[in-house]
Amino acid sequence: MTLLVTAGAVRQAAEGPSCYSRLRNEWVCGDYLVDRREEILSALGSHVVLSVSSVLLGLLLAVPLALLARRVPRLETAITAAATGLYTIPSLALFPLLVPFTGLTATTVVLGLALYALTILVRALLDGLRAVPPEVREAARGLGYAPTRRLLRVELPLALPVLMAGIRVATVSTVALTTVGALVSHGGLGDLLVTGVAESFRAQVLTAAVLCVALAVLLDGLLVLLQRALTPWSRA
């Protein structure tokens, strides 16, 4: 009878039980990071794609809604109320409601998170546009700026700091909510969290949680740098 011994088994025999073996279940485990590196990086990459795609889709939906609310004041209350109402729907209920239309796919997660982001992004854009001084609009109008050109060249640049603050909040919250996508098997790091909790796998739970927090901080920092690059007049 041939006995097949893996390299991992040889190392375990030489160094003792692994920190995530049947005998040990530690929170901090370097062996887990090395042995499951590909799985962790795959989950992290999926989390980044889901989060960024959701925020971008939310922004794509929020801009026309906010501009419509600003152009037709009678619709502002309805639009903001609808966006706020979507945020009150628990994610455990929203994702299953979308499944009959989008299936058990990443589209379900991206669409659901984009709808949640509308609450923050619509209000941020409206507040940013309101913050533009009326005399600035009058000066642009006096210089012959058409409404569309005035919006793109004057109002949006001045509203950008407030809008970027909203995007930062939406991004951080989306990174956290993406983990709920594990309900439809597309939760990025949330998939690791769910399986880790189900199996009482401490190293996996801690790793996924730390990476989720680190990703939120990293994306927030990148957005701060982007804001500084887009608004050079505010650096002083």
Q: What would the DSSP string read from start to end of 2-28?
A: PPP--HHHHHHHHH-S-TTSSS---SS
- The answer to whether the beta carbons of residues 175 and 216 sit under 8 Å apart is yes
**Phi, psi (deg, nearest 5) at residue 132:** -70, 125
Position 120, amino acid: I
Other CB atoms within 10 A of residue 34 CB: 8
- Note the Cα 116 to chain centre separation in Å: 10
**pLDDT digits 0-9 by tens, 99-108:** 888 888 888 8
Query: Considering the chain, what is the average pLDDT of its residues?
Result: 82
Give the whole-angstrom CA distance, residue 100 versus residue 104.
9
pLDDT at position 12 over 50: no
Measured CA to CA, the distance from residue 216 to residue 145 in angstroms comes to 39
What is the pLDDT at residue 155? 80
Q: Supply the pLDDT for residue 48.
A: 94
Superfamily of structural domain 28-228? MetI-like (1.10.3720.10)
pLDDT above 70 covers what percent of the chain? 90
**What would the mean pLDDT of 181-196 be, rounded to a whole number?**
85
pLDDT greater at residue 164 or residue 135: 164
Q: Is the pLDDT of residue 127 over 90?
A: no
pTM: 0.83
Choose between 28 and 47: higher pLDDT: 47
Residue 2 has pLDDT above 70, yes or no: no
What are the residue boundaries of the structural domains of the chain, listed by start?
Answer: 28-228
b/e 181-197 (16+ beta carbons within 10 angstroms → b): bbbbebbbbbbbbbebe
DSSP letters spanning 124-156: HHHHHHHTS-HHHHHHHHHTT--HHHHIIIIIH
Specify the pLDDT at position 212: 93
55-64 pLDDT, tens per residue? Answer: 999 999 999 9
How many other C-beta atoms are found inside a 10 Å radius of the C-beta of residue 127? 15
Looking at residue 187, the DSSP 8-state letter turns out to be -
- pLDDT band for position 17 (cuts 50, 70, 90): low
- Alpha carbon distances (Å) from 227 to 48, 158, 233: 20, 12, 11
Per-residue pLDDT at 85 exceeds 50: yes
Helix (H) / strand (E) containing 73: helix 73-87
In a 3-state reduction of DSSP, which class is residue 82? Answer: helix
Q: Is the pLDDT of residue 174 over 50?
A: yes
Q: For residues 180 and 190, what is the distance between their CA atoms, to the nearest angstrom?
A: 6
pLDDT of residue 84: 84
Report the range of poorest mean pLDDT among 14-23, 107-116, 193-202.
Answer: 14-23
| pLDDT confidence of residue 53 | 94
Percent of the chain with pLDDT over 90: 22
